[in-house]
Structure 1
Amino acid sequence: MNRATTLSSLTASLAAVAGTLAAAPAPARADTQAAAITVDSTEDAVDADTSDGVCRTSAGTCTLRAAVMTANARPGSTIELPAGHYRLSIPPDPRYLNTRTADPTTGDLNVTAPTTLRGAGARETVIDADHVDRVFRMGADTSLSDLTITGGEAKQREVRLTDPGGGGIANSKNMTLRRVAVTGNTAGYGGGIFNIPDSHLTLIESTVSDNTAGEAGGIRFDDSGTVLNSTIADNHVTDDWDRPGSLSGYGGGIDIRGTGLVDIRNSTITGNTSTDGGGGINIAPAYLDSLPSSVTDIVDLPLGHLALHNTIIAANTVGRASGDCKRAFAAIESLGGNLDSGDSCGLTAEGDLPRRDARLGPLADHGGPTDTVALLPDSPARDAASDCPSTDQRGVTRPQGPACDTGAFEYQP
């Protein structure tokens, strides 16, 4: 096989896979005049009449599920979610388990129109799927802030192209999460969040932690994404899933399978585990890492693109061995100020710190809306960054010393 033939074959395979996965509903036209919908009950019940534009169950209350159903009929709505524990209790309809059919009355919360959802704080507003289904399926542009997403479980245990994955959230459009915790969710792939082709996730001042999957323990990107001032920690990829061959084992924290740019800045990726590769980050578009090694040796095209700036990728493992990054047919671009506890991320830019012990504490409540990983006093990440945001993930002013600290946490002397 010559180089031109190999390139043509790879490109065709990538396009075929992306085309198969990308089928998703188009976003509805936003109506900027839509009024806010305020939830007043933590029960799980459907809207009695979606045609009247009013969030009201048969009991006369406005539940989260009823609010989502109302917002789907009123594009551009904002859902206000007061402090409380909102537990989903209606199991999914078995007829739709392995399809992309959205059934808003059962199982996960299906968002089909542009919607903004605002909680009272990630420690105060909790949306819990209680393992009956995933939490959200996003079929339109959405913005979520100040809440926790937990208890989601994508029920399918095997590979199905019709299943969007994602234990916490399955996203097919443009989604922004700000001051959100995505924790304690499970799926075959994308334990916390799964983003299909033609989608974009923007993660700001948020934490994705303690999620589990057969691939992509924390976040799966099949297209582009932005991670800023956020923590990806203690997510796990296990072999407890029916996922054959190269479809399993990769990306404990983040797994990137698309060709769009994933840009990670001022973030901390630590304590994540996988079984085959990329304990912290794995990047290999469209499973091209499954090609024979002879093909990999002939052509190593940078079809995928990951950019890192002022970010810690440390103390991630593959099995019992250390392993922060793994790439195939992809480029990891360092913009400087990054720290890698090994040398697998290929950090060579000015200010980079490869092969360093990051000296990090455990994921915990250090103030601020979501849990973070603190720098210990002797961490080499202190004063190691430049061109950083004005605050850290908790809202603490940067810098606290002569320069900003690398990662999502700014050390306070």
Structure 2
Amino acid sequence: MRDFAGIAVFRRGWVSGNNNVDIPTGVVVRNNTVTGYVQNNVGSNSTGFGIVVEGTKMQVLNNTVNGNEVGIQVQSGHLPYTANTNIDGDQSNLSDNYFGRGNSPIACAKVDANIYSSNGVDDATVGSAASRNQTIFNQTKNTYHCTIQEAINLADAGNTIQVPAGTYTENLTIDKGLTLLGPNSAINPNTGSRVAEAIIQPATSNPDPNTSCSIIAYLSTSNITIKGFTFDGDNPSLTSGVMIGSADVDACELLAGYEGMGNIVVENNILRHSTYSGIDFYNYTVDTATSGNYIRYNLFENIGETTYNWGIGILLYNNFYADVSDNVLNNVRVGIQTGNFYQANPGSTGVINNNQINVWRLGIFHNLWYSAASDMPITNNTITAMDSTGSTKWNGMLISSFQTAVDTTITNNTINIGSITQNPASGYNMWNITTSAPITISGGTVTGGNYGVWVNNFEGYNSNATATTAYVDGVTITNAIDAGIYVLDSPSNTNNATVQAVITNTTISNSGKGVHVANADATAEVRNSTIANSTTEGIYNNSSTLTVNSTTVSASGTNNLNNSAGSVSISNTILANATSMDCTSSNPLVLNSFNLIETNSGCGTPALTSDPLLGSLANNGGSTQTMALSATSPAINAGDNGTCEATDQRGIARPQHTTCDIGAYEYSDTTAPTVSSIIRASTSPTSAASVDFTVTFSESVAGVDVADFSLTTTGVSGASITSVSGSNSSYTVSVNTGSGNGTIRLDVPNSATIADAFSNALSGLPFTGGETYVVVKSPTFADVPETYWAHDWIERLYAAGLTGGCTTSPLNYCPTLPVTRAEMAVFLERGLHGNSFTPPNVPATFGDTTGHWAEDWIEALKADGITGGCGGGNYCPNAPVTRAEMAVFLLRVMHTASYTPPNHAPTFGDSARALG
């Protein structure tokens, strides 16, 4: 018995000349009901199928399949098969899973929205080349395809093609503008959690980039978007013998295009395993500048090896302007390379930003820009060296062959070299830079390696350069083995090309040498920079030309500056704390002006030789660490305003005072001074015609004169400030006390123009908290002459408003009369609440105070907890205050009503306990 089916789409009886297709193609089985296909012959191995399909671009949709042995089967690979022959599949009674008549070598079907019931097996997929629901979907045209290339071929420009998860073995040619979306089109492989991948691997194996090698996807036109795929140059079923790690690599390039393309987007992809490049976009056959290109959020892995000595993660050539941003490149020989840009950018894309690049030969190779080329900034990238025996040298960035007036921005990049086998290893290698627009490395850090920045006229490309100038500004370089910055007129150079570095606002620490300038055609300027803790020399000048200004060099292992037969000019610079010598020179310096050099040999006579009192290397503001001057450093105000830099290393304007400071750090005090105190310098009360106040400030101030003070007086007239003397933080102010009796207080008003040495204005004004003089030109009370023993005390009570005397005409005090308890209540309440206090009018609570003139004062004293009366519910207002009662009153006023004195043994022979 043979297999049988309700609906079968299969290959059979191909006949030459009938225009038949060899493989069934494009059949749609839709909206059918297929029931009861069961092979009931007990002795047969044949099967009953509801629906069977084989071939390509099949669709089985919305069918009802009931009671069949196999509901729906997709099959491929039944034998025998010979292309373009009439040989059918073996239809004898075989115990296999095929529908026996069919023998298509492939099967690709979209099986969806079918209804199943009571089948032995609802769905079956038979054969290694059979796939269901892995069809590629053109969402614009609503068509399904079995290969990506087929989908591309049948698409129209502008279509969007969706590729489901799976493995696709194809070498693609994308020759129309369209969008290819993998299952991870919206998921960044570096930050997100990916779903199952659509992996595209090469169908042919040829990784040799010197031949017509295998490229997974070749782009030949503009307006192409590719998102969410894995491009893998290792097809496990192919063998090349070229290994990258454990991968046998079959592709030389993963994505490439040489046709002058624009508006290319490559996003959220994984690209791995190739010998030449991950992406190679090279406007070769059409060299027009293009823009609108984005390469971002991709992961590159294992690009490059040592058989062919290539391997570039991203190659942009011949005016292909692109935003290359937020990619991660791991185990790549060269991370990103540009080259041969000479036309202006026609659009807005063009930056290399925020990429994480882990490489074993070169991070970014920015090369050959000239004529009308536009800037392509390199910003915020992190480049990390991988140790490898596959390369003899390493560069974080190689910046080379910038010509005419072409500029580039290199800002805030981080280069981590560490300790690696490759030697030499440099953070930046600058070669053949002749542009009239200065190339400046700004900000960022370089850690480790042989050189932080290497400016040379040969080694960058192993050939003669023309004149090269590089600028280094605001960079932090640490732990360079040989030199933080190396300016080399190479012995290998034969054309006498000059090489120059201008170093500003930069910090170099813990390196072999801070700055090394070598040979006759090399020149370096070091300005506003800090070099600290070098292993040997802070600056070594060997037969070159060196200028150093407003720079701090400290704590070098041998010499802070060593000049060997070169031309050296130093000004406004600190050379201090070296282990051996702060400055040594084999020949006289051209200039040694306004410098602080602690020790020297052959460097001439510096302006200062004392300890500059430097702080440790620290964050003192600005983008780089500096060594602060202490407040008493001799370098403060010791520079030359005519030659010091306009700002210090941190960007603080010079000078902060009258004269700029020596070194990279300009001392600036931003703390405003205050008035600490104003105290009487003479006795009080006083009848003197003139008195002095001592005014103390929180720090030294200047510009202190009579107009900076004012007087607050009571009673006296004609008082005035007559003179001010003093300096630093202490001044004496003399005051004419005028006429009459009263008080005088010295104040500092808001209008004061006092400031410190750094022009910080006096703060905390007005200051009205100083001491007060009591001025008594004639006795206030007729019965208290100046000779009376308590005269000054009584005058102070009067000046404070605590007493008005005992009679008014004449004004007497009655100093010998006893004080009554009623009078004591007034004294105490005015002392507690001020001389303007008026007690509230409340009912009397003591039996003997109703109607008394001091009734309210007594009640206020009781309310404040100072008195409880004299006993029996009375206060005894007219009774004199004993000395014992006075002690209780005064201590309660001083320490609050709840005060209880400590229990001490009596010190007076007649003391006894008393109640107030």
* TM-score, reference length from structure 2: 0.31
8 Å CA contact retained: 1:283, 1:326: yes
Is 1:272–2:556 an aligned residue pair?
yes
Q: Displacement, 1:399?
A: 1.0
C-alpha distance in 2 between matches for 1:112 and 1:183: 24
Q: Please name the residue that 2:377 is paired with.
A: 80
| Match for residue 502 of structure 2 among 202, 211, 229 | 202
Q: Please name the residue that 2:398 is paired with.
A: 110
CA deviation vs aligned residue, 1:227-261 (integer Å, no higher than 9, x gap)? 11111111113xxxxxxxxxxxxxx11111124x2
Q: Please name the residue that 2:118 is paired with.
A: none
Q: Please name the residue that 1:126 is paired with.
A: 414
Q: Displacement, 1:218?
A: 1.2
Q: Displacement, 1:336?
A: 1.8
Bigger radius of gyration among the two: 2
Q: Displacement, 1:107?
A: 4.8
Q: Please name the residue that 2:447 is paired with.
A: 151
8 Å CA contact retained: 1:149, 1:168: no
8 Å CA contact retained: 1:180, 1:370: yes
8 Å CA contact retained: 2:315, 2:337: no
Q: Please name the residue that 1:229 is paired with.
A: 528
> Which stretch shows the higher mean deviation, 376-385 or 201-210?
201-210
Matches within 5 A, 1:20-31: none
Residue aligned with 2:414, SS: strand
Matches within 5 A, 1:234-253: 234-237=533-536, 252-253=537-538
Q: Displacement, 1:167?
A: 5.1
Is 1:390–2:687 an aligned residue pair?
no
C-alpha distance in 1 between matches for 2:416 and 2:313: 19
Q: Displacement, 1:176?
A: 0.6
Q: Displacement, 1:89?
A: 3.2
Q: Please name the residue that 2:598 is paired with.
A: 341
What is the one-letter code of the residue matched to 2:568? Answer: L
Higher helix fraction (1 or 2)? 1
Q: Displacement, 1:92?
A: 7.1
Is 1:379–2:633 an aligned residue pair?
yes
Where does structure 1 lack aligned partners over 5 or more consecutive residues?
A: 1-32, 98-105, 155-165, 238-251, 286-303
Where does structure 2 lack aligned partners over 5 or more consecutive residues?
A: 1-288, 304-311, 340-364, 458-467, 490-497, 670-916
C-alpha distance in 2 between matches for 1:226 and 1:180: 15
- From the superposition, tell whether residues 363 and 199 of structure 1 become closer, same or farther in structure 2 (CA, over 3 Å): same
Matches within 5 A, 1:14-413: 46-54=312-320, 61=327, 65-67=335-337, 71-75=366-370, 78-83=375-380, 85-89=382-386, 91=388, 93-94=390-391, 96-97=392-393, 107-114=395-402, 116-120=408-412, 125-132=413-420, 133-141=425-433, 143-154=439-450, 166=451, 168-172=453-457, 173-187=468-482, 191-197=483-489, 198-212=498-512, 217-222=513-518, 223-237=522-536, 252-259=537-544, 261-274=545-558, 279-285=559-565, 304-318=566-580, 323-328=581-586, 330-344=587-601, 346-348=603-605, 352-353=607-608, 355-386=609-640, 387=642, 388-413=644-669
- From the superposition, tell whether residues 137 and 151 of structure 1 become closer, same or farther in structure 2 (CA, over 3 Å): same
Q: Please name the residue that 1:157 is paired with.
A: none
C-alpha distance in 1 between matches for 2:446 and 2:652: 26
Q: Displacement, 1:282?
A: 0.9
What is the one-letter code of the residue matched to 1:336? Answer: S
8 Å CA contact retained: 2:314, 2:335: no
8 Å CA contact retained: 1:151, 1:168: no
Residue aligned with 1:113, SS: strand
Residue aligned with 2:631, SS: coil
What is the one-letter code of the residue matched to 1:273? Answer: G
- From the superposition, tell whether residues 356 and 84 of structure 1 become closer, same or farther in structure 2 (CA, over 3 Å): same
- From the superposition, tell whether residues 43 and 84 of structure 1 become closer, same or farther in structure 2 (CA, over 3 Å): farther
- From the superposition, tell whether residues 57 and 176 of structure 1 become closer, same or farther in structure 2 (CA, over 3 Å): closer
CA deviation vs aligned residue, 1:279-318 (integer Å, no higher than 9, x gap)? 1011114xxxxxxxxxxxxxxxxxx211011111111113
C-alpha distance in 2 between matches for 1:59 and 1:203: 29
Higher strand fraction (1 or 2)? 2
8 Å CA contact retained: 2:617, 2:627: yes
What is the one-letter code of the residue matched to 1:229? Answer: N
Q: Displacement, 1:262?
A: 0.7
8 Å CA contact retained: 1:180, 1:205: yes
8 Å CA contact retained: 2:472, 2:504: yes
Q: Displacement, 1:68?
A: 5.5
C-alpha distance in 2 between matches for 1:385 and 1:342: 19
Percent identity of equivalent pairs = 22
8 Å CA contact retained: 2:399, 2:430: yes
- From the superposition, tell whether residues 199 and 119 of structure 1 become closer, same or farther in structure 2 (CA, over 3 Å): same
What is the one-letter code of the residue matched to 2:554? Answer: T
Q: Which has the higher contact order (CA 8 A, sep 6+)?
A: 1
C-alpha distance in 1 between matches for 2:417 and 2:338: 15
Residue aligned with 1:236, SS: coil
C-alpha distance in 1 between matches for 2:294 and 2:539: 34
CA deviation vs aligned residue, 1:94-148 (integer Å, no higher than 9, x gap)? 4x55xxxxxxxx654322222634224xxxx422224343222221227233333
C-alpha distance in 2 between matches for 1:144 and 1:337: 29
- From the superposition, tell whether residues 61 and 168 of structure 1 become closer, same or farther in structure 2 (CA, over 3 Å): same
> Which stretch shows the higher mean deviation, 168-177 or 307-316?
168-177
8 Å CA contact retained: 1:208, 1:218: yes
8 Å CA contact retained: 1:176, 1:203: yes
Q: Displacement, 1:412?
A: 0.9
- From the superposition, tell whether residues 40 and 309 of structure 1 become closer, same or farther in structure 2 (CA, over 3 Å): farther
C-alpha distance in 1 between matches for 2:541 and 2:388: 31
8 Å CA contact retained: 1:89, 1:130: no
CA deviation vs aligned residue, 1:248-279 (integer Å, no higher than 9, x gap)? xxxx11111124x21111111111113xxxx1
- From the superposition, tell whether residues 48 and 65 of structure 1 become closer, same or farther in structure 2 (CA, over 3 Å): closer
CA deviation vs aligned residue, 1:157-191 (integer Å, no higher than 9, x gap)? xxxxxxxxx3543533311101111222213xxx2
Aligned length: 305
8 Å CA contact retained: 1:176, 1:201: yes
- From the superposition, tell whether residues 91 and 412 of structure 1 become closer, same or farther in structure 2 (CA, over 3 Å): same
- From the superposition, tell whether residues 176 and 82 of structure 1 become closer, same or farther in structure 2 (CA, over 3 Å): closer
C-alpha distance in 1 between matches for 2:560 and 2:455: 21
C-alpha distance in 2 between matches for 1:402 and 1:395: 18
